[in-house]
Structure 1
Amino acid sequence: MTTPTPPAPRPDTLRIANCSGFYGDRLAAAREMVEGGPIDVLTGDYLAELTMLLLWKARRRDPGAGYAVSFLAQMNDVLATCLRRGIKVVVNAGGLDPAGLARRLRELAGLAGLDPVVAHVEGDDLLPRLAALQADGETFAHLGTGQPLAAAGVEPVTANAYLGGWGIARALRAGADVVICGRVADAALVTGPAAWAFDWALDDWDRLAGAVTAGHVIECGAQATGGNYAFFTEIPDPVHPGFPIAEISADGSCVITKHPGTAGVVTTGTVTAQLLYEIAQPAYLNPDVIARFDTVRLTQEGPDRVRISGARGEPAPRTLKVCLNYRGGHRNSATFVLTGLDIPAKAEFALASVRDAVGGDERFRRVDTRLEPGAPGTARLTVTWLDPDPEKVGRALFTALAGTGLAGYPGLYLEHASPKPTEYGVHWPALVDAGAVTQEVVLADGTRLPVPRPPAGGPYRASHLRRAPRAGTTPVPAGPLVRVPLGRLVGARSGDKGGDANVGLWARDDAGYAWLRSWLTTERLRQLLPEAVDLEVSRYELANLRAVNFVVHGLLGDGVAASTRPDPQAKALGEELRGREVEVPAALLEPVAAPRG
């Protein structure tokens, strides 16, 4: 009689490393993370709403495309080492064709004499099912406007639901060395491996919420280790920062760190900044759980080690987010430089001349104009024309603009103009019932493994009835006021949420937060950001992070691909705010004993 082999002991800590925050991130990061120190799982996030459209364009040119080819280059560097050390690889590089990427990786591995177990996850692509889903009552109403998709008269070219991490966990349980996903939620790249390693249940809400929090922190690569950080001048070595690692425990808590000897830093400040990135309300919706970011606590445990604890989770939402994209048309733009005196009058003169030359704004679907001040005595006027017909915004437009060159305002010159228009896409965010989406794991031999679905909207447990902490009672300092840039006192991080933009601001001590939350109201934000004056603004407080988060609805129009802002992803919105001069209590500018980075 053979004695059965006991199961391997569960790890106390799972070290999950990130090697990509977007399609185009540092290629060497995979090698740096695998060779820089011990890790258990290597993850990479390659997808954004815009990326899905770019991958569709790539597949239109080449039917064999549709995935992040840079992932293959990274695997060429590290796959052999990962297999030898037992490092699992989990990525969403599959984009629109996870099966194709899995097949290609097996081919390349075979040429190198390697035989990895590669699985991929399917179920996110809803494009072939759109008509049937609509017939079943799914309206795919736009999350911003409420308009049903059918009423918009558009034809989507991509439609992908955000899947959770349970497909990844199922693939790892089936023995996969590499798991390739399409459109999964960014944090699913962490929740899946954690659920697999610690054998979590579908309703382990608090543990799952902790993993979502960790995943949200490391998903954007070096942004957690000092990249794009408001207080970058305080980082001794900010260039070429190491990528982040989440050391996750069985209870869902974690420590965010990086490999020793790499540049950048991990502080409560860098982690706070990333927690505020591209979020809306503190109840952060994920396909597997609703993570309450307003319950999270950060502790600096040592150099480059920040513990995240206390995350509370609520049952998974009954719906999944869907990213649809459709072809919006073509556009072209021209930038006029205005100098010297009478700049507003010169701008009006330029616009009048342009309208006369092109036959009026009404000839185009939309015309967008932006006048932005530059150095003293200068400004830039950018005019963008959008229309379904590429001929209208192509060479004919360019020729008409050129004809105004000697008949316009004094000092006229163009900084940018082109005879070639560009095609743009429009992002359509929507929801679909979670029960209408079936997730499957596909193995190399074609075997399909069903993936369980979280009990969406299930009953709360006692632990989940705890409310988020209220702001402390620290008084706002009294005394004289001084006028300084807002950024001398607070940090900020901003980004895009479809057609909306978020900007989160945090203070570095309790007194600063007491002032920030009482002073920075929605109306004051509108005063500081003139673009937001006529837009809806939502405001949320996260007392544990000493932070206030704002969502400026509609700032980015139809999303990144269609936005005519110079900063279409709102990356600089936070820094723009920090540069505004405001009056603050002088006492707040005194050095703090232990700044929180």
Structure 2
Amino acid sequence: MEPLRIGNASGFYGDRLSAVREMLEGGPLDVLTGDYLAELTMLILGRARLKNPMYGYASTFARQMEDCLGLAHERGVKIVTNAGGLNPAGLAAVLRDMADRFGIAVRIAHVEGDDLMGTPGRWPEALTANAYLGAWGIKECLDAGADVVVTGRVTDASLVVGPAAAHFGWGREDWDALAGATVAGHILECGAQATGGNFSFFTEIPDPLRPGFPIAEIASDGSSVITKHEGTGGAVTVETVTAQLLYEIAGPRYPGPDVTTRFDTVRLAQDGPDRVRVHGAAGEPPPPATKVCLNHLGGHRNQMTFVLTGLDVEEKAALARAQLEAAMTPRPRTVRWTLARTDHRDAGSEEEASAFLRCVVMDPDPKVVGRAFSGAAVELALASYPGFHATSPPTEASPYGVYTAAYIPNEEVTHVAVLPGGERVEIPPPARTADLAGDAPPPLPDPLPEPLPEGPVRRAALGLVAGARSGDKGGDANVGLWARTEDGWRWLAHALTVERFRELVPEARGLTVTRHALPRLRALNFVVSGLLGEGVAASTRFDPQAKALGEWLRSRELDIPEALL
């Protein structure tokens, strides 16, 4: 049976607007997916829905379909997207009106049931509450002849698993095939991150200005080849795919509503220029509980960044901090200070001679962190350190949200496929599950390679021998690192312990750090619990989604065997 070619044209709400047309015109495809949702996006859509109940979906997708719905139909490409957000039925209605207006004979279906707002006795103060649905509602819609399937909150990988299951006729206990498609979906879900975007060794990527979007050629056994349209920018290599595999994961077991995927079984091999074969994925039954993404309004926040130029930076920072602390009446519930020493000695420009002192304040009362805070900061302008100025003028307080995860039994989630003709089909929960903490099979041993023999070492940056990709999962951060060579893996696996990680990332010293080894990828994954506080929307950290945490780690120096350098 011929492979199913699934491309992706969106990795987040705000991705390249032209990508849908580029993917449709760039070469053959069977299915085009678009991932528009993240934990932060659900909060953004929730606030939009407060203003107008008709909103709550990704409006950019509707704009893309205005341009490309007819083109997709002409080329026989099915569209599967989670752009429905909090209102998949509303987006499906918009698309039907659009098709009627343009005279395009497309069959549109949607999937609902993820929205748990209003569930009696649960989360009364939540702004959004959405279960992570799986692939089977998507499959039901495609089996009924849908050309476009709109979902709300499904797992990102399910956008790929659903079409693959429909095409190949997989059953719900074809664990290995489902796991393989889940891996392919995880690789595709962040768009150009699989084709050289945000890649540690970006200087090695040919034509990095506009990376193409990825394609998975999925086989009937769930294995795949990751590629991209010929002539597009970027590159598809074992390392670019490894980087994306390590993005926002935890342990070797990757639980989802369709299958628990064993990332420690995945193998990669270069299969030609811009082609990486992904195979070997093993699957296990999914867990008995469904993850729920909760967002609620946490309060209001504001911030000021003071510029400290020239000499006596530490003393200037101390004065500004003492003055503003004394002037903030009442004091906000949360006050966070950070001093970034970006200044250079005997600098050739004023900017290079400057450091930045940032104050972030948070409080339930917008007045406390609004004009009261801004006014206190402004009043220091002529009475503080020499050279006083800020990077931006004061602003009003802005609301922030708090993300938390909850879990409910699978049976309590109503998963419904609304077919092109309007028929509603309820999708039953999985008949067989396995609790990762209980009845799941024992984990694979953590086989580490033989360490390198003793030899001379040199102090150097970790990034000379390892790549990294980092990101956020709620309030936790993950950093995945891979070695570029087998000898590099023999060193990295033994050198980068949890203790050494804490030394290199001082912010993690008081936090729980868990290390997971993925030997078949020559990779380690570190999960830092609580580094991001209450999640991206509430985080006061300089890099609230930990996107650059891996690159900071790569810049840290330690003793590396000279043989690797």
Specify if TM > 0.5.
Answer: yes
Which residue number in structure 2 is paired with residue 99 of structure 1?
89
Per-residue deviation at 1:209?
0.5
Structure-2 change in CA distance of 1:347 and 1:102 (3 Å):
same
Q: Note the alpha carbon deviations across 1:322-350, whole angstroms, 9 max, x for none.
A: 10100111111111122333333322221
1:438 to 394, 414, 430: 414
Q: Note the alpha carbon deviations across 1:518-571, whole angstroms, 9 max, x for none.
A: 000111111111111111111100000000000111111110111111211111
Per-residue deviation at 1:61?
2.1
Which residue number in structure 2 is paired with residue 165 of structure 1?
135
Which residue number in structure 1 is paired with residue 337 of structure 2?
369
Asked if the contact 1:477–1:587 (Cα under 8 Å) also holds between the matched residues in 2, the reply is no
Query: Which residue identity lines up with residue 339 of structure 2 in the other structure?
Result: L
Task: Provide the C-alpha distance between the structure 2 equivalents of 1:571 and 1:560, rounded to a whole number of angstroms.
Answer: 11
Query: Which residue identity lines up with residue 339 of structure 1 in the other structure?
Result: T
- Does residue 319 in structure 1 map to residue 259 in structure 2? no
Query: Which residue identity lines up with residue 190 of structure 1 in the other structure?
Result: V
Which residue number in structure 2 is paired with residue 521 of structure 1?
497
SS across alignment from 1:330: strand
Query: Which residue identity lines up with residue 109 of structure 1 in the other structure?
Result: A
Structure-2 change in CA distance of 1:468 and 1:303 (3 Å):
farther
Which residue number in structure 1 is paired with residue 472 of structure 2?
496
Structure-2 change in CA distance of 1:347 and 1:393 (3 Å):
same
Which residue number in structure 1 is paired with residue 458 of structure 2?
482
Task: Provide the C-alpha distance between the structure 2 equivalents of 1:486 and 1:562, rounded to a whole number of angstroms.
Answer: 31
1:280 to 238, 245, 250: 250
Structure-2 change in CA distance of 1:400 and 1:168 (3 Å):
same
- Does residue 390 in structure 1 map to residue 358 in structure 2? no
- Does residue 447 in structure 1 map to residue 433 in structure 2? no
Asked if the contact 1:277–1:493 (Cα under 8 Å) also holds between the matched residues in 2, the reply is yes
Task: Provide the C-alpha distance between the structure 1 equivalents of 2:242 and 2:144, rounded to a whole number of angstroms.
Answer: 36
Asked if the contact 2:88–2:112 (Cα under 8 Å) also holds between the matched residues in 1, the reply is yes
Task: Provide the C-alpha distance between the structure 1 equivalents of 2:161 and 2:13, rounded to a whole number of angstroms.
Answer: 21
Per-residue deviation at 1:445?
4.2
Structure-2 change in CA distance of 1:472 and 1:537 (3 Å):
closer
Task: Provide the C-alpha distance between the structure 2 equivalents of 1:306 and 1:427, rounded to a whole number of angstroms.
Answer: 35
Task: Provide the C-alpha distance between the structure 1 equivalents of 2:332 and 2:374, rounded to a whole number of angstroms.
Answer: 14
Per-residue deviation at 1:129?
1.1
Tell me the TM-score normalized by structure 2. 0.95
SS across alignment from 2:119: helix
Task: Provide the C-alpha distance between the structure 2 equivalents of 1:62 and 1:84, rounded to a whole number of angstroms.
Answer: 34
RMSD: 1.7
Q: Note the alpha carbon deviations across 1:211-258, whole angstroms, 9 max, x for none.
A: 100000000000000000000001121111110000000101000000
Which residue number in structure 2 is paired with residue 188 of structure 1?
158
Task: Provide the C-alpha distance between the structure 2 equivalents of 1:477 and 1:21, rounded to a whole number of angstroms.
Answer: 43
Query: Which residue identity lines up with residue 270 of structure 1 in the other structure?
Result: T
Asked if the contact 2:446–2:517 (Cα under 8 Å) also holds between the matched residues in 1, the reply is no
Task: Provide the C-alpha distance between the structure 1 equivalents of 2:475 and 2:73, rounded to a whole number of angstroms.
Answer: 42
Q: Percent identity?
A: 58
Q: Note the alpha carbon deviations across 1:83-137, whole angstroms, 9 max, x for none.
A: 2332111000000000000000010111111121100001100012152xx4xxx
Which residue number in structure 1 is paired with residue 268 of structure 2?
298
SS across alignment from 1:129: coil
Task: Provide the C-alpha distance between the structure 2 equivalents of 1:572 and 1:73, rounded to a whole number of angstroms.
Answer: 31
- Does residue 586 in structure 1 map to residue 562 in structure 2? yes
Task: Provide the C-alpha distance between the structure 2 equivalents of 1:468 and 1:417, rounded to a whole number of angstroms.
Answer: 55
Per-residue deviation at 1:381?
1.3
- Does residue 344 in structure 1 map to residue 318 in structure 2? no
Q: Note the alpha carbon deviations across 1:436-475, whole angstroms, 9 max, x for none.
A: 1021111344310122332342599xxx969647546444
Per-residue deviation at 1:477?
4.4
Query: Which residue identity lines up with residue 117 of structure 2 in the other structure?
Result: L
Asked if the contact 2:461–2:555 (Cα under 8 Å) also holds between the matched residues in 1, the reply is yes
Q: Give the total of aligned pairs.
A: 554
Asked if the contact 2:451–2:494 (Cα under 8 Å) also holds between the matched residues in 1, the reply is no
SS across alignment from 1:74: helix
Asked if the contact 1:46–1:92 (Cα under 8 Å) also holds between the matched residues in 2, the reply is yes
SS across alignment from 2:271: strand
Asked if the contact 2:288–2:435 (Cα under 8 Å) also holds between the matched residues in 1, the reply is no
Which residue number in structure 1 is paired with residue 550 of structure 2?
574
Asked if the contact 2:226–2:276 (Cα under 8 Å) also holds between the matched residues in 1, the reply is yes
SS across alignment from 2:407: strand
Asked if the contact 1:102–1:119 (Cα under 8 Å) also holds between the matched residues in 2, the reply is yes
Which residue number in structure 1 is paired with residue 77 of structure 2?
87
Query: Which residue identity lines up with residue 186 of structure 2 in the other structure?
Result: H
Task: Provide the C-alpha distance between the structure 1 equivalents of 2:160 and 2:201, rounded to a whole number of angstroms.
Answer: 28
Asked if the contact 2:137–2:416 (Cα under 8 Å) also holds between the matched residues in 1, the reply is yes
Which residue number in structure 1 is paired with residue 348 of structure 2?
none
Which residue number in structure 2 is paired with residue 221 of structure 1?
191
Which residue number in structure 2 is paired with residue 254 of structure 1?
224
Query: Which residue identity lines up with residue 365 of structure 1 in the other structure?
Result: R
Q: Note the alpha carbon deviations across 1:255-312, whole angstroms, 9 max, x for none.
A: 0000011110000000000000000111011111100101100000110000000001
Which residue number in structure 2 is paired with residue 67 of structure 1?
57
Asked if the contact 1:164–1:286 (Cα under 8 Å) also holds between the matched residues in 2, the reply is yes
Structure 1 window deviating more from structure 2 (548-557 vs 443-452): it is 443-452
Per-residue deviation at 1:390?
1.0
Task: Provide the C-alpha distance between the structure 2 equivalents of 1:419 and 1:82, rounded to a whole number of angstroms.
Answer: 45
Which residue number in structure 2 is paired with residue 358 of structure 1?
328
Asked if the contact 2:378–2:394 (Cα under 8 Å) also holds between the matched residues in 1, the reply is no
Tell me the TM-score normalized by structure 1. 0.90
Question: Structure 1 regions of 5+ residues with no counterpart?
Answer: 1-10, 135-148, 590-597
Query: Which residue identity lines up with residue 405 of structure 2 in the other structure?
Result: P
- Does residue 560 in structure 1 map to residue 524 in structure 2? no
- Does residue 429 in structure 1 map to residue 405 in structure 2? yes
Task: Provide the C-alpha distance between the structure 2 equivalents of 1:456 and 1:562, rounded to a whole number of angstroms.
Answer: 37
Structure-2 change in CA distance of 1:14 and 1:539 (3 Å):
same
Structure-2 change in CA distance of 1:161 and 1:436 (3 Å):
same
Task: Provide the C-alpha distance between the structure 2 equivalents of 1:408 and 1:465, rounded to a whole number of angstroms.
Answer: 63
Query: Which residue identity lines up with residue 31 of structure 1 in the other structure?
Result: R
Query: Which residue identity lines up with residue 483 of structure 2 in the other structure?
Result: A
Task: Provide the C-alpha distance between the structure 1 equivalents of 2:94 and 2:83, rounded to a whole number of angstroms.
Answer: 12
Per-residue deviation at 1:388?
1.3
Asked if the contact 1:289–1:313 (Cα under 8 Å) also holds between the matched residues in 2, the reply is yes
Per-residue deviation at 1:176?
0.6
Query: Which residue identity lines up with residue 369 of structure 1 in the other structure?
Result: W
2:11 to 21, 43, 49: 21
Structure-2 change in CA distance of 1:305 and 1:71 (3 Å):
same
Asked if the contact 2:329–2:372 (Cα under 8 Å) also holds between the matched residues in 1, the reply is no
Alignment map for 1:512-551 (pairs within 5 Å): 512-551=488-527
Question: Structure 2 regions of 5+ residues with no counterpart?
Answer: 346-353
